[in-house]
């Protein structure tokens, strides 16, 4: 006996299980309406009744649905369906693009070697997706190998915005233990401390991802997530070249800059890190320098990495050897005096020389948050911050109202030089689509075509000679470009009209009924009937359907009953007396004609 497939949303037939995560499972499904394969993520039934998990799951749908980028898994639909396991809870679900391929986690677990150039290319694509999401105001918060897929063609797809949150919501710190979400091996220091995070937290996690792609292991490992999180906060990672001596110093510099403990020392955006990677791949000098030492612990410990240049500089400068145990107090006093004198001399020299070598530090300005502002408000905020207005562009958006800012560069809260240009993008409204040509199609088929193009549908019936329920035109007309979500009216045919039977009706009433049905009338008068005058005695055609405007012939009686005229009765006449018949007379004999004389 064949088991009927589970259908959710009235159109998605669930198939094989693709994966199961901490709060949801993902199954392959078939969209019966559009005939395409999709992936459906459903919240686990044991968590569906938990308001916290439901809110997080819905946030994933909202975060993912607002992003449209080739390196981000697309979201098609979302909804809720009652669970079929008897729990009677509504299971939220998300319908996503079905991506063929494997995750980086699967590839790394096989122990396969990834070439450094390929690792950098993959990371560059991940950063392109993050740069797009950051510009839209969304932080991923959980970048790791398991959330990055490679398609058979080599394309990168970033997925699972399960703990993504809008930047506008990031002002609330994650102080509770249960709220510190993310994977320990790829957690940024500020995430581990439960502090406010911004887009630079994703830069750190991407640095961890690149580290593992290059070396085959994450930057920190430990016996427990707490031990790993502690290392993210306190320890400096060994450079990737410690695990693979074939890696260039420039790669070390890129990775270690992205893994800086202080957010100010990292790349300030995903775009900046991606630009440095592209410079290296193109053979150009990179901007990343040697990582700074932690400010709160100037003395390097055994777990800290001291760059080669720093170590060399220290060796070249030399170190003052400690006094031997048998030296006298006098020697120690003289040595201390000498050291003090040298320190004072160095400080005095620096005070005299350094001002000539370096400019006075410039106070930096914080970039204001422009997302959601109108153009005038954004311009005013930029001027008030001591910055200048850069390029103002427009872009379609299905979530941001028209004429509101949807992207900005640099991102909010970064510190830049006074007068720095701030670019922003205004929403031009919903993306536009072309009204498809559906004239001549049945109304249900035409409706499906419009809905698959993100258009709404309304029906209007008109009298027409076309078959019943066939589309005769659209409003707006096909070929016009309209915003997604626009309502398109399908004008459908009411079908051929029934010919009314008017035999026996008076001529005036019959003509009115025929014209009301949409037909023309032809009157033929006939006296070949005894029906009263002006009565319809026959029609052609008699019944059935006909096209509007066709002529119906009515045969109308003109019969008038004859009126009898009364006549006088004639008087009787006398019978005449018969008379005698006269006797016949004799016929005279013919006489001879005289002959003519001869001369």
Question: Sign of the C-alpha dihedral, residues 226, 229, 235, 240?
Answer: positive
CA distance 490 to 472: 8
CATH code for the domain defined by 497-557: 3.30.10.20
Which among 31, 125, 142, 160 is annotated as catalytic? Answer: 142
Q: What is the pLDDT of residue 301?
A: 37
Q: What is the pLDDT of residue 52?
A: 74
Class of domain 370-427: alpha beta
CA distance 207 to 128: 14
Quick check: helix, strand or coil at residue 381?
A: helix
How many C-beta atoms lie closer than 10 Å to residue 36's C-beta?
13
CA distance 538 to 558: 13
Structural tokens at position 35: 């005939």
Residue 142 falls in the annotated catalytic set: yes
Fold classification of 432-493 (topology level): Trypsin Inhibitor V; Chain A (3.30.10)
Class of domain 7-97: alpha beta
Q: How far is CA 194 from the centre of its chain?
A: 32
Nearest to 107 by CA among 148, 139, 157, 65: 148
Element (H, E) at 522: strand 520-526
User: Could you tell me which residues come within 8 angstroms of residue 246 by beta carbon, excluding any fewer than 6 positions away?
Assistant: 116
Q: How many Cα atoms within 13 Å fall on the side-chain side of residue 539? A: 26
Q: What is the pLDDT of residue 392?
A: 92
> Residue 32: is it exposed, middle or buried by C-beta count within 10 angstroms (0-12/13-18/19+)?
middle
Q: What is the pLDDT of residue 168?
A: 37
Quick check: helix, strand or coil at residue 103?
A: strand
Rg (CA), the chain: 48
Nearest to 99 by CA among 143, 61, 63, 148: 148
Nearest to 157 by CA among 275, 34, 269, 39: 39
User: Could you tell me which residues come within 8 angstroms of residue 141 by beta carbon, excluding any fewer than 6 positions away?
Assistant: 163, 164, 165, 181, 182, 191, 197, 201, 202, 205
The residues spanned by each domain of the chain are: 7-97, 102-291, 370-427, 432-493, 497-557
Answer yes or no: is 468 a known binding residue.
Answer: no
Roughly how many angstroms between the first and final C-alpha of the chain, as a whole number?
A: 147
Residues 349-380 have pLDDT tens digits of 544 444 443 334 446 788 898 999 999 999 99
CB 188 within 8 A of CB 170: no
Q: What is the pLDDT of residue 448?
A: 92
User: Could you tell me which residues come within 8 angstroms of residue 359 by beta carbon, excluding any fewer than 6 positions away?
Assistant: none
Q: What is the pLDDT of residue 569?
A: 63
Question: Which stretches of the chain score pLDDT less than 70?
Answer: 1-3, 22-23, 60, 162-182, 290-363, 564-599
CB 188 within 8 A of CB 204: yes
Q: What is the pLDDT of residue 516?
A: 85
CB 126 within 8 A of CB 186: no
Q: Can you say whether residue 518 is alpha, beta or left, with left for phi > 0 and alpha for psi between -120 and 50 degrees?
A: left
**The total number of residues written for the chain in this structure:** 599
Q: Where are the alpha helices (DSSP H) in 422-485?
A: 443-452
Beta strands, E only, 378-447? 388-395, 405-409, 415-416, 421-427, 432-434
Element (H, E) at 510: helix 507-516
Fold classification of 102-291 (topology level): Transferase(Phosphotransferase); domain 1 (1.10.510)
* DSSP code for 485: T
Strand 415-416 and strand 456-462: the pairing is unpaired
Structural tokens at position 572: 């009787």
pTM exceeds cut of 0.85 = no
Strand 90-97 and strand 75-82: the pairing is antiparallel
**The two domains 370-427 and 432-493 share their CATH topology (first three levels equal):** yes
């Amino acid at each position: 006996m064949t088991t009927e497939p589970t259908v959710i949303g009235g159109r998605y037939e669930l198939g094989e299980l693709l994966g199961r995560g901490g709060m949801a499972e993902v199954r392959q499904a078939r969209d019966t309406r559009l005939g395409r394969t999709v992936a459906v993520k459903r919240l686990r039934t044991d968590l569906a009744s938990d308001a916290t998990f439901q809110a997080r799951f819905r946030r994933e749908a909202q975060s993912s649905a607002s992003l449209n980028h080739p390196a981000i898994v697309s979201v098609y639909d979302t909804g809720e369906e009652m669970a079929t396991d008897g729990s009677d809870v509504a299971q939220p679900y998300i319908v996503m693009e079905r991506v063929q391929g494997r995750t980086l986690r699967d590839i790394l677990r096989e122990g396969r070697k990834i070439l450094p150039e390929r690792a950098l290319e993959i990371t560059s694509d991940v950063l392109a997706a993050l740069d797009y999401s950051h510009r839209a105001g969304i932080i991923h918060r959980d970048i790791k190998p398991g959330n990055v897929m490679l398609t058979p063609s080599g394309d990168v797809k970033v997925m699972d915005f399960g703990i993504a949150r809008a930047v506008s919501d990031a002002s609330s710190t994650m102080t509770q233990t249960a709220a510190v979400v993310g994977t320990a091996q790829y957690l940024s220091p500020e995430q581990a401390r439960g502090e406010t995070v911004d887009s630079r937290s994703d830069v750190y996690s991407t640095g961890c991802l690149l580290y593992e792609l290059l070396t085959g292991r994450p930057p920190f490992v430990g016996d427990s997530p707490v031990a790993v999180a502690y290392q993210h906060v306190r320890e400096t990672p060994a450079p990737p070249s410690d695990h693979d001596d074939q890696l260039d110093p420039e790669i070390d510099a890129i990775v270690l800059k992205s893994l800086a403990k202080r957010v100010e020392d990292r790349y300030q955006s995903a775009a900046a890190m991606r630009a440095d990677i592209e410079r290296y791949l193109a053979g150009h000098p990179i901007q990343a320098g040697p990582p700074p030492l932690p400010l709160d612990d100037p003395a390097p410990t055994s777990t800290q990495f001291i760059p080669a240049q720093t170590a060399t500089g220290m060796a070249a400068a030399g170190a003052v050897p400690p006094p031997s145990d048998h030296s006298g107090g006098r020697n120690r006093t003289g040595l201390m005096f000498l050291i003090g004198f040298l320190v004072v001399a160095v400080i005095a020299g620096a005070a005299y020389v350094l001002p000539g070598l370096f400019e006075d530090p410039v106070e930096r300005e914080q970039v204001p948050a422009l997302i959601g502002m109108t153009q005038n408000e954004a311009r005013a905020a930029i001027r008030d911050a001591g910055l200048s207005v850069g390029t103002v562009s427009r872009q379609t958006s299905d979530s941001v109202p028209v004429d509101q800012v949807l992207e900005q560069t640099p991102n909010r809260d970064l510190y830049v030089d006074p007068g720095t240009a701030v670019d922003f993008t205004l929403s031009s409204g919903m993306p536009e689509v072309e009204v498809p040509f559906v004239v001549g199609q049945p109304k249900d088929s035409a409706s499906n075509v419009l809905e698959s193009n993100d258009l709404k549908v309304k029906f209007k019936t008109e009298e027409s000679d076309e078959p019943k329920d066939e589309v005769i035109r659209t409003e707006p007309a096909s070929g016009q470009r309209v915003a997604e979500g626009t309502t398109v009216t399908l004008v459908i045919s009411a079908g051929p009209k029934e010919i009314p039977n008017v035999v026996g009706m008076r001529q005036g009433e019959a003509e009115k009924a025929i014209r009301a049905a949409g037909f023309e009338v032809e009157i033929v008068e006939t006296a070949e009937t005894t029906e009263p005058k002006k009565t319809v005695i026959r029609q052609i055609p008699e019944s059935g359907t006909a096209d509007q405007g066709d002529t119906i012939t009515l045969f109308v009686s003109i019969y008038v009953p004859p009126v009898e005229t009364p006549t006088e009765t004639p008087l009787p006449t006398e019978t005449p007396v018969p008379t005698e018949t006269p006797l016949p007379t004799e016929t005279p004999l013919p006489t001879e004609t005289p002959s003519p004389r001869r001369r």
